[in-house]
Structure 1
Amino acid sequence: MTRSVYVTGIERGDGRQVVELGIMELLTRQTGRVGVYRPLLHDGPDRLFDLLKARYRIDQDAATAYGMEYQEASAILAEKGTDELVSRLVDRYHRVARDYEVMLVLGTDYAETNLPDELALNARLANELGAVVVPVVGGTKHPAEAVRAEARNAHRAYESLGCHVVAMVVNRVAPEDRDVIAERLAARLPVPCYVLPDDKSLSAPTVAQITRALGGEVLLGDEAGLARDALDFVFGGAMLPNFLNALTPGCLVVTPGDRSDLVVGALAAHTSGTPPIAGVLLTLNERPTDEVLTLASKLAPGTPVVSVAGNSFPTAAELFSLQSRLNSATPRKLETALGLFERHVDTAELRGLLSVARSERVTPMMFEHELLERARAERRRVVLPEGTEERVLRAADVVLRRGVCDLTLLGEEQAILKKAGDLGLDISGAQLIDPATSPLRERFSEYYAQARAHKGMTVELAADVVTDVNYFGTLMVQQGLADGMVSGSVHSTAATIRPAFEIIKTKPEASIVSSVFFMCLADKVLVYGDCAVNPDPNAEQLADIAVQSAATAAAFGVEPRIAMLSYSTGTSGSGADVDKVRKATEIVRAQRPDLAVEGPIQYDAAVEPSVAATKLPDSEVAGRASVLIFPDLNTGNNTYKAVQRSAGAVAVGPVLQGLRKPVNDLSRGALVQDIVTTVAITAIQAQSQGAPAATA
């Protein structure tokens, strides 16, 4: 029978989407077959379902994701009663639920629904669906004692109606009250109660949303600028010096369109970072001259300047009534919401309470979720040398919002802040270091000169070398000021890993540094090695790559069954290339008799049971290999790219192995999510290195 989780509330405005998103995240970590059902829907698109479908790659048709519209439900309730309404909604649920292992059910929203007793209806539906229930109570603008009373009353109400309440969530409480509320409720409720503080950025509308709501015209600004959150509103009327003192980080400046001095002043303040603003909203349907707009575009490229027809007072009234909602067009809010949920909810405990058995299948998303969760559990510091690269900054924003690990960004500090401000990103939680001006430069120069003295290196020469961001980042790792490094989005592989070869060096048990890719297929994860570093390893090196790859696989939850790949299987072929693989296989068996290894073996015999049954029927690896070792870089690199592009696999890596401390390389075509995943992998690798790095 399909398991279902019913998330419900007691009134509107509880910010329940954060909880629904967080629980969906938990469910998709356990199984790749999660469906969504909203019993009742307002007229128009279901933006939350669209978001969940896109983010979690749900294959569900939107038409199956809801029971009926509120208007229809109200008519059935009036004409035929509650039993008929519930019967229809339950029937429509079961039509879709049979195709999924778990269903996330989104309760009614209490927003002008014309339903007489919404709480009782949610309780009845949850009971009829056999769902466990997670009620959400909103705490916005309520004193702490009132919030505690509401939570206790909500629990009592759902319990008295027969619901299986497994946990409570109190959301959007005043941050200063959060700990007290959590402590009191823990003592008074029989189920866990997770308390989430209010986060202003989640309800703050973006500049794009404000522009649409007010029917504004975009005079300047790009997509990234329009995606910025308007965290505050500053109304311009004062003289420039007083106006500048009133600016706050992330504010939207609202000023009459004829105040060119305030427009230019606000944009100049943004450029200097004192403070970065969301944009400028011009009222009265007035617009600056072309000369002023040209100057504005050069002062703060990408920063939005929007014109609206109304005057400042009615515009202000509309602005203060706007609130953002999570949707697929606000990806940064999603990461903020998930980070908030994961910081304040015991996700391991809640996952157990939801009683969702982990699937034997491992989807790409399940693997990626597991990486983030493991990295977050024991935080480490990762240094990102490419601190002014847009993709790296976007990834840093995600990592910090999700609390995956601590970060250090390298580069000129004002350049990093300006780029982040222009992109509307929050990197305030990252440490920023400029290698050229850092006090660490002298210390690193002396260390590097001593380490490379046999190559004629002097302190004077080293002082120039260590200003290179990859050398500086590597030295931070070596000196215990960072736990790992990720680079390569704009640097070559050689530029990224050469400093590691010189400074960090290989582990005593490793003869070479090699790499693997985690190839996330539709229902499993395979490990490919070496596809990025060694062009033509000999038999001994190939054996070393196999042993290292098996260790990496095991460290990330993949049971290692090693296939030493060749164009020949077993004893069917001969020649130097096959003999190299055969010898490497023998070395692995001699060095590590505990490892399951087969070779030489062809790819199809390694992964396809029907082929294996014909070619190697008695092999414990054939047909079920999980670690595939390629004979050379040419074969490995082309194969991983062919599988990635043709089979739609997610390729995570390259992950370097064999170094004393973790340094990982990125593809120069890496996407933001690729960088986030590689940072998480690096943090996990560092967890086995001992105590976390010291603060630089």
Structure 2
Amino acid sequence: MFENLVEKLKKNPTTLVFTEGPDPRILEAAARLKREHILEPLLVGNPDEVKAAAEKGGFDITDIRIVDPANYRRMDELVDKMVELRKGKGNYFGTMLVKMGVADCLLGGATYSTADTVRPALQLVKTKPGSKSVSSCFLLVRERPDGSEEKYIMGDCAINIEPSAEELAETAIECARSARIFGIDPKVAMLSFSTKGSAKGEKVDKVTTALALAKEAAPDLAIDGELQFDAAFSPVVAQTKCKGSPVAGQANVFVFPEIQSGNIGYKIAQRLGGFAAYGPILQGLNAPINDLSRGCDAEEVYNMALITAGLK
């Protein structure tokens, strides 16, 4: 998967903002991305601090651009635009570089909270045309014994705590789009604790309403619900619980009804199933902007940079 992303990026020059320039994990990943001619990193921070941190870590950032918010030559223009958009509330420098076209995409969160990365994106970059909300997904990858890759998309596991039916439908469609980017032919399961009416209640109704809305908005999408995970994943269980479903037993995109089950679900797959989990990958924004875990290492930064730039 990453080989395909690398080849794509080498053919499509992309500039990616790293908002935490002096962080050694960022520097290691940025130096590697530059050395391998994959994309153009843009480091935000005081140049002396960034260069000192790079020298200390032994990272070659000779040809990497560093942008200092304190001395940025287009700062007046940037501030004017930000004031226009946010009435002067906060200086989200890296996000504004994307907003103004200085960079194509952004990756942050190595030292900041998810909110510190997502909030400026929502306020400044905003949603793309046709999208009303922002959601997230995780890409889960595991190598099979034959060397091929087993890949799934799970969402929303990081952004919307208790999504409405409308938000859930949009999440399903966006997760399918993300799946295609990563070479997955999407078969979307709208998950629940119920399969095709086996249980009743408001939580089940929300999922069935979301399914109807998603089908209306994307009639060609292979999607079904409400499905329990075993019915969505296992062909044997699908034959028993929902025979004839176009998705059950072969789903590869799993849409959880709310964030709690989504977050628990992907972490179980990661820890017990041995999957590598990449994300959260933000969906629905006007530009690719993603969040890192504060516990990330340089390899995770490198891979998330590839994913973020690949969403361009």
Name the TM tier (shorter chain): over 0.9
Tell me which residue corresponds to 2:30: 396
Q: Percent identity at matched positions?
A: 39
Is 1:537 aligned to 2:158, yes or no? no
Q: Secondary structure at the match of 2:129?
A: coil
Q: Which residue identity does 1:374 align to in structure 2?
A: K
> Is the aligned partner of 1:444 residue 2:78?
yes
Alignment counterpart, residue 40 of structure 2, candidates 394, 406, 410: 406
- SS at the partner of 1:521? strand
Task: Say which of 183, 197, 217 aligns to 1:571.
Answer: 197
1:533-682 equivalences in 2 (<5 Å): 533-682=159-308
d(CA) in 1 for partners of 2:20 and 2:176? Answer: 31
- What corresponds to 1:517 in structure 2? 138
Corresponding letter in the other structure for 2:174: Q
Tell me how far 1:369 sits from its aligned partner.
2.3
Which of 98, 101, 114 is equivalent to 1:493? Answer: 114
TM-score of the pair, normalised by structure 2: 0.96
| Deviation, structure 1 residue 383 | 0.5
Deviation at 1:368, TM superposition (A): 2.4
Match of 1:278 in 2: none
CA contact (8 A) 1:375 1:681 kept: no
Gaps of 5+ in 1: 1-366, 687-696
What TM-score do the two structures reach when normalised by structure 1? 0.43
Residues 314-358 of structure 1: per-residue CA shift (max 9 Å, x gap): xxxxxxxxxxxxxxxxxxxxxxxxxxxxxxxxxxxxxxxxxxxxx
Secondary structure of 2:17 counterpart: strand
Paired residue type of 1:475: M
Residues 382 and 485 in structure 1, CA contact (< 8 A), matched pair in contact too: yes
1: distance between equivalents of 2:31 and 2:239?
49
Structure 2: gaps (5+ residues)? 145-149
Residue of structure 2 in register with 1:473 after alignment: 94
The 5 Å alignment of 1:148-163 reads none
Q: CA deviation at 1:521?
A: 2.5
Structure 1 residue 601: deviation in Å? 0.3
What do residues 268-299 of structure 1 show as CA deviations (whole Å, max 9, x unaligned)? xxxxxxxxxxxxxxxxxxxxxxxxxxxxxxxx
- 2:128 counterpart residue number: 507
User: How many angstroms apart in 1 are the aligned matches of 2:182 and 2:13?
Assistant: 16
Give the C-alpha shift of residue 370 in structure 1.
Answer: 2.2
Work out whether 1:374 is the aligned partner of 2:8.
yes
Residues of 1 paired with 2:225 and 2:297: CA distance? 35
Residue 414 (structure 1) shift? 0.8
Measured after TM superposition, the shift of residue 371 of structure 1 is 2.2
Work out the number of aligned pairs and report it. 307
Q: Which amino acid aligns with 2:130?
A: E
The C-alpha deviation readout for 1:183-231, integer Å capped at 9, x for no partner, is xxxxxxxxxxxxxxxxxxxxxxxxxxxxxxxxxxxxxxxxxxxxxxxxx
Give, in whole Å, the separation in 2 of the partners of 1:674 and 1:600: 34
In the TM superposition, residue 497 of structure 1 has moved relative to its aligned partner by 1.2
Q: Give the structure with higher Rg (CA).
A: 1
SS at match of 1:494: helix
Match of 1:667, as an amino acid? S
Matches within 5 A, 1:134-283: none
The list of structure 1 runs, each at least 4 consecutive aligned residues, that deviate by more than 3 angstroms after superposition, is: none
C-alpha deviation, 1:652, in angstroms: 0.9
Instruction: Report if the CA contact (8 A) 1:566-1:578 is conserved.
Output: yes
> Do 1:371 and 1:677's aligned partners in 2 also have CA atoms closer than 8 Å?
no
Inter-partner Cα distance in structure 1 for 2:66 and 2:121: 21
Deviation at 1:413, TM superposition (A): 0.2
**TM-superposed deviation, 1:591:** 1.6
Determine which of 67, 71, 78 is the counterpart of 1:433: 67
Shift of 1:477: 0.4
Q: Which amino acid aligns with 1:675?
A: V
Does the Cα contact within 8 Å between 1:379 and 1:683 map onto a contact in 2?
A: no
Matched with 1:329 is none
RMSD (Å) for aligned C-alpha atoms: 1.2
Tell me the CA shift for residue 378 of structure 1: 1.2
* SS of match in other structure, 2:130: coil
Q: Which structure exhibits the higher relative contact order, with contacts defined as CA atoms closer than 8 Å and separated by 6 or more residues?
A: 2
CA distance in structure 1 between the aligned counterparts of 2:193 and 2:43, rounded to whole angstroms: 45
Structure 1 residue 576 displacement after superposition: 0.9
Whether 1:482 and 2:109 are equivalent positions in the alignment is no
Deviation at 1:405, TM superposition (A): 0.4
What are the superposed Cα offsets for residues 511-540 of structure 1, whole Å, 9 maximum, x if unpaired?
100111101123410001101100000111
- The 8 Å contact of residues 372 and 677 in structure 1, kept in 2 or not, is answered as no
Q: SS of the residue aligned with 1:398? A: helix
